[in-house]
Amino acid sequence: MMLLEHDAKELLAEIGLPVPRGALVRTGDALPLMPPLVVKAQVPVGGRGKAGGIRPVRDPADLDAALASVLGMTIKGHDVRACRLEETVDFAAEAYLSFTLDAGAGNVRVLMSPHGGIEVEDETTRAGLLGEGVPADPKALRATVDRLSVRMPETLRTPMREAGRALVDAFFAYEAVLLEINPLFVRADGSWTIGDAKLSVDENAFPRRPRLQRLIEDNPDLYREAALKLEQGFDYVLLDPDGDIGLVTTGAGLSMQVIDELTGRGRRPYNFCDIRTGQFRGDPARLCQVLQWIAEGPSIRSVLVNFFAGHTDLGEIARLLLIALEAVPQLRAPITARFIGNGLDQAREIVAAAGDPIAIETDLERAIDLAIERADRGEPAHA
């Protein structure tokens, strides 16, 4: 997962890398820094500058307005919930450095260029960009940094070697998937600091990287999905606040596909979820939680459940789903469940005995069409 620039810089600073003085502010926070400074939108995507999410502010009188306008932005679908205020840096050169785990090659791709700045996003067209694939080993990476930095313009050689070596340590300390510094500011005296940092980390490494886990837990408003996953143990993403079809689905790929099938029919699904039925172990808590979130959707008119049970028992799932529906009476939309696999007959019996509050289908196409029909009919929930 991509960390916000502010957090990436704080993490780098914690292990001794130089970063410009800065602070994170949310709406209403006191301002710990005054202009001249740069207001930087904190969203986990590239292209913030082009979208207007990076604003230099010289006059203190302009800060409130600049901050308010950036905090009100949405960049590539991400609401800007916080900004980093950062001191302005005087620099003589902007360089580029990155370390990327190359999933295909199974090694680390090191890129270095004397020309930083936003254009580097299109790597292949850059002149002066040096790259090498290296085994994921600190010693090999440091040697590569040394080798590549020698080929930089003379004034950049030492700063890029130093920065590169420090970044190698950071790459392993945080089990990074991507660590990109663009630009690396190099001052006239040869000292350097980090202009922008992209640090993507691996959630699977959190059990042995408590610092990273704490970062997410401390900022659940900024890392909504990741914080939820840490807290709940499954994936949930709010896709479209005005969506009218809520989804209770399991399996990452099939859950994504159900969303595609709905959008392909011109519909607006409310959420993504991979609830992991295999981990229920007799507890309806996850179902209750997801149904509660769906019930918060102001436009919800239909709920589609899709469980392809390879191993889980559908009778048990149906029983838990009925308990969850009872526990979330505020959910007023009709429930359509696609069940297939072990225990289907038992699931039917259990649902029938409860007065058929759930429409069961075995075919996914039919279940999707039925959930849509019921949304369009404005069918009330079964009492």
Partner 1 sequence: MPETFIAASAPIIVQGMTGRSGRRHTQAMRDYGTNIVGGVSPRDEDVGGIPVFRNCADAVAATNAVGSVAIVPPLAVLPAILEALEAGIRTVVTITEGMPIHDAVRARRAVAEAGATWIGASTPGIAIPGRMKMGFLPDVSLSPGRLGVMAKSGTLSYEVCHRLVGRGLGQSLWVGVGGDPVKGTRFADMLPYYAADPGTDALVIIGEIGGDEEEELARRMRELAFAKPVFALIAGQAAREGVTMGHAGALIHGNVGTVDTKTAALTEAGAQVFTRIQDLVDAVAAG
Q: What is the DSSP string of 188-213?
A: TTS-EEES-EEEEE-GGGGGG-HHHH
Task: Tell me how far, at minimum, the Cβ of 124 lies from partner 1, in Å.
Answer: 12
Residue closer to partner 1 (CB basis): 153 or 210: 210
- Edge to edge, what strands does the sheet with 54-57 contain? 22-25, 83-87, 37-41, 54-57
Q: Is 310 in the site for partner 1 (CB under 8 A)?
A: yes
What are the strands, taking DSSP E only, across 195-295? 197-201, 235-238, 245-249, 271-274
| Binding letters toward partner 1, positions 148-187, x by CB under 8 A | ------------------------x--x-x----------
Residues in contact with partner 1, shown as a per-residue x/- string from 183 to 202 under the rule CB under 8 A: -------------------x
Give the residue with the Cβ less far from partner 1, 321 or 368: 368
Task: Count CB atoms within 10 A of the CB of residue 32.
Answer: 11
260 vs 326 by CB, closer to partner 1? 260
* C-beta neighbour count of 345 within 10 angstroms: 10
By three-state DSSP, how is residue 374 classified? Answer: helix
Q: Binder to partner 1 among 98, 144, 219, 255 (CB under 8 A)?
A: 255
Three-state secondary structure call for residue 177: strand
CB of residue 258 to partner 1, shortest distance in Å: 9
Q: Which positions ≥6 away from 10 have C-beta within 8 Å?
A: 19
The CA–CA distances, whole Å, from 373 to 76, 92, 244, 303 equal 31, 63, 12, 11
Residues 100-139, one symbol each (x = binds partner 1 by CB under 8 A, - = not), give -x-xx-xx-------------x-------------xx---
Binding mask 343-362 for partner 1 (x = CB under 8 A): --------------------
- Of the residues 114, 269, 284, 315, which one makes contact with partner 1 according to CB under 8 A: 269
Q: Does 364 bind partner 1 (CB under 8 A)?
A: yes
Q: How many degrees, rounded to 5, is the angle at CA 40 between CA 37 and CA 42?
A: 150
CA 278 to CA 312: how far, in whole Å?
A: 6
Binding map of partner 1 across residues 59-88, x = CB under 8 A, - = no contact: -----------------xxx----------
Euclidean distance between CA atoms 335 and 228, whole angstroms: 24
Among 64, 283, 365, 373, binds partner 1 (CB under 8 A): 365
The structure tokens listed for 129 are 């960009």
Give bridge partners of residue 193 from the DSSP assignment. 185
Here's the x/- map for partner 1, 26-65, by CB under 8 A: it reads as -----------------xxxxx------------------
> Smallest gap, in angstroms, from Cβ of residue 343 to partner 1?
12
Task: Give the CA dihedral 101, 104, 105, 109, nearest 10 degrees.
Answer: -30
The least distance separating partner 1 from the CB of residue 6, rounded to whole angstroms, comes to: 15
- Report in angstroms how near the CB of residue 378 gets to partner 1 at its nearest: 24
Pick the closest to residue 94 from 120, 123, 117 (CA basis): 117
Q: Is 366 in the site for partner 1 (CB under 8 A)?
A: no
Quick check: 16 binds partner 1 (CB under 8 A)? no
* Angle at CA of residue 107, ends 114 and 104, nearest 5°: 105
DSSP 3-26: PPHHHHHHHHHHTT-----EEEE-
The pattern of x and - marking residues 220 through 249 that bind partner 1 according to CB under 8 A reads -----xx--------x-x-x----------
Q: Which residues bind partner 1 (CB under 8 A)?
A: 1-2, 43-47, 76-78, 101, 103-104, 106-107, 121, 135-136, 172, 175, 177, 202-205, 207-208, 225-226, 235, 237, 239, 250-257, 259-261, 263-264, 269, 272, 274, 308, 310-311, 340-341, 364-365
